[in-house]
Amino acid sequence: MGNSGKNRFFALLAGVAGIFLVLLLRLWNLQVIEGPRYRTQSEDNHIRMVPISPARGPVFDRNGELLVENRPSFNLMVLPREIGERGTLFRRLSALAGRDPEALEKNWEKGKRQPRYLPLALAEDVGWERMELLAENAVDLPGVFIEAKPVRSYPFGDMAAHVLGYMGQIAEEELQKNDYEGYRSGDFIGKSGLERALESHLRGEPGNHLIEVDVKGKQLRILRTKEPKPGRQVYLTLDRNLQQTLEEAMGDQAGGAVVIKVNSGEVLAMASSPRFNPARFAQGISAAEWQQLLEDHRHPLSNKVIQGQYPPGSTFKIVTALAALEAGMVKADRAVFCPGQIHIGNRRFRCWRRGGHGWTDLRKALKESCDVWFYQVGFETGIDRISAMSLALGLGQPTGIDLAGEKKGLIPTREWKRRAFKENWFDGETVNASIGQGFVLTTPMQLAVMMAAVANGGTVYRPFLVSRIEDPTGEVVFENKPTATRQNDLQEENLRMMREALSAVVNEQRGTAWRSRLEGLRMAGKTGTSQVVKLKEKILSHKEDEIPYRFRDHALFVAFAPAEKPEIAMAVVVEHGQHGSSAAAPVCQAVFAHYFGVRPAGGHEGTVFEGD
């Protein structure tokens, strides 16, 4: 390196040293020369930033009806470092707020860990009248004030609770995540359902007050306010009316049911029961209540439409039939004689109907839900074709609905069996799978999507709940469009045959859902019953009512209507409801009757199909 080369380094060093010297001199100036002045300033620095939480966005149904809004909750607040002797003060406050002195003391203890200059909530949601009373008295109580905080409120109570979801305080682990940047401890966030899925849209942006405080930290005046930005408003695809009809129809039966449009995947109603009351969560739920919800054996917190995985039972026969027809394995007029049971390999498989169905073709097999026909045809078709058709119709994978926590169900394949059990596939398992038993698991959501695909000619749509999202100013920031996740090329002839047979299930005598037919509208559907335990044989001796609740079979019904030109599709699972025909099909009947404005027909005459 020449001289000039070295010079460059020295120039660089000199430059760096010069700039660092400037910084050091500046520090000397600030800290030593001006230090005392700044120290005084820091001593009586009276300006403080206090965050204001934004109003969370409201949620509307498809017709603009308000489903979730905010109401003010009036909280009794104190500034701990201004409170001297607590005894008398707390007694007085407890009388004014209408709360136990012990409750106030408890909240005081809870807040002990935070800095003393931060306000602490002694009593939450004291109500309008108490608030006025307290506000009047707070004037001569130093360190006491009322805070109005927006909390979630639900005009329709627990309606659609699982779709809307509940709120809760942000957890420590969540604060650490990137998604929750800018959140503070104590903030409320959506914990389930849409509240969680749409958190970033609903929340808005917090603002703040710059306040001037005196030496003790008491607020003197507000110097400047940066208004919080309210959250965005969300319009759902749900129809409030239909949702209520669906929930009424489900009654107090546990289970999940969902209604979608067959040509778009829009979810019109989605109900999971038993429901919880989301309003109980709006200000934080008590530990005891939370524990009770968690331990309830009917699982009120889970959304069974997307999280309940059930063997589809006879509703799966639709898939088996399509798989057989599309593969050309059988024709619709294929006749199998059903004597009530069939031997395949060296095992005996029973039809639900002990006496048998006699000679049976596809139409009759679906209409009367003959197991033997499907045992035979399913066996001939083979598990590979059946599982391929299942996957093509959207089963065995998440439907992609805009809610978190969706389960994907299970469609068994040879490869899956080898991985899971280190075992080869047995023919007997194919026979079981063809009537939706054995390993097969589906969610009600998947069944509805499958049904919609059969109805619309083979297109699997991604179901969705959010129609559009608007800024507080009304500008649309997000709009959902129907998306087809699969487009199956099914033969028109086969589809027509399926629709016709499924219509017969409801609209012809001896059809398993004959009792749930409608007047002036042809609904197509399929009943199903899925075994909860294989104890069946032992329990058969019992009378049905004597079977313990938790061993009773699940009742299923899938449907679409009108049969000729389908508009909506539906799936219902009633946990431990015993029979699809008696527990699940009436739910569809009620919903379709409401949607199309027709009346149920036939009353209750006709056969009860105990096996299906």
Partner 1 sequence: MFDRRLLTHFDFFFLLLILAVAVVGIVNLFSATYSWPVSARPIYQKQIFWLFIGLGIAFLLCLFDYRRLRRLAWPLYVGAVLLLGWVALFGKVSMGARRWIDLGFFNLQPSETMKIVIIIALAYYFNDRSHPQGCSLRDLMVPFGLLGLPFLLILRQPDLGTALLVVFIGTTLILFVRIRWRTLLLLGGMAAVTPWLGWFSLKDYQKARIYTFLDPESDPLGAGYHIIQSKIAVGGGGFWGRGFLHGPQSQLSFLPERHTDFAFSVFAEEWGFFGCGVLLFLYFLIIVWGIYIAFRAADKFGRYLSIGVTAMLFWHAVVNLGMVMGLLPVVGVPLPLFSYGGTNMVTTMTGVGLLLNVSMRRYMF
Write out the residues near partner 1 by the rule CB under 8 A.
4, 8-9, 12-13, 16-17, 19-20, 22-24, 26-28, 30-32, 34-39, 41-43, 45, 47-49, 113-115, 117, 170-172, 175-176, 178, 184-186, 210, 223-224
* Cα-based angle 604, 607, 612 (whole degrees, multiple of 5): 110
Residue 94 annotated to the active site: no
- Select 8 or 106, whichever has its Cβ closest to partner 1: 8
Burial class of residue 449 (count of CB atoms within 10 Å of its CB; 0-12, 13-18, 19+) = buried
Taking the complex as a whole, the smallest distance from the CB of residue 182 to partner 1 amounts, in Å, to 9
Nearer to partner 1, 13 or 148 (CB): 13
**In the complex, least distance from residue 169 CB atom to partner 1, rounded to whole angstroms:** 9
Whether 576 contacts 525, CB under 8 Å: no
Torsion of CA 236, 242, 244, 248, to 10 degrees: -140
CB of 153 to partner 1, least distance (A): 26
Closest approach, Cβ 120 to partner 1, in A, equals 12
CA-to-CA dists, residue 539 to 81, 368, 533, angstroms: 68, 24, 10
Catalytic hit among 94, 272, 314, 582:
314
Token pair listed for 207: 């603002």
CB of 569 to partner 1, least distance (A): 33
* DSSP 3-state of 219: strand
Tokens found for residue 77? 């607040």
Torsion sign, CA atoms 179, 185, 188, 192: positive
Quick one: 172 or 545, whose CB is closer to partner 1?
A: 172
> Which H or E run contains 20?
helix 3-27
We find the least distance from the C-beta atom of residue 183 to partner 1, in angstroms, to be 9
Query: Nearer Cβ to partner 1, position 45 or 88?
Result: 45
Please identify, using beta-carbon distances, which residue of 224 and 538 lies nearer to partner 1. 224
Give me the amino acid identity at 42: S
Contacts of 14 (CB under 8 A, 6+ apart): none
DSSP code, position 340: S
- Whichever of 35 and 127 has its CB closer to partner 1, that residue is 35
Residue 17 class from Cβ within 10 Å (0-12 exposed, 13-18 middle, 19+ buried)?
exposed
Which positions are catalytic?
Answer: 314
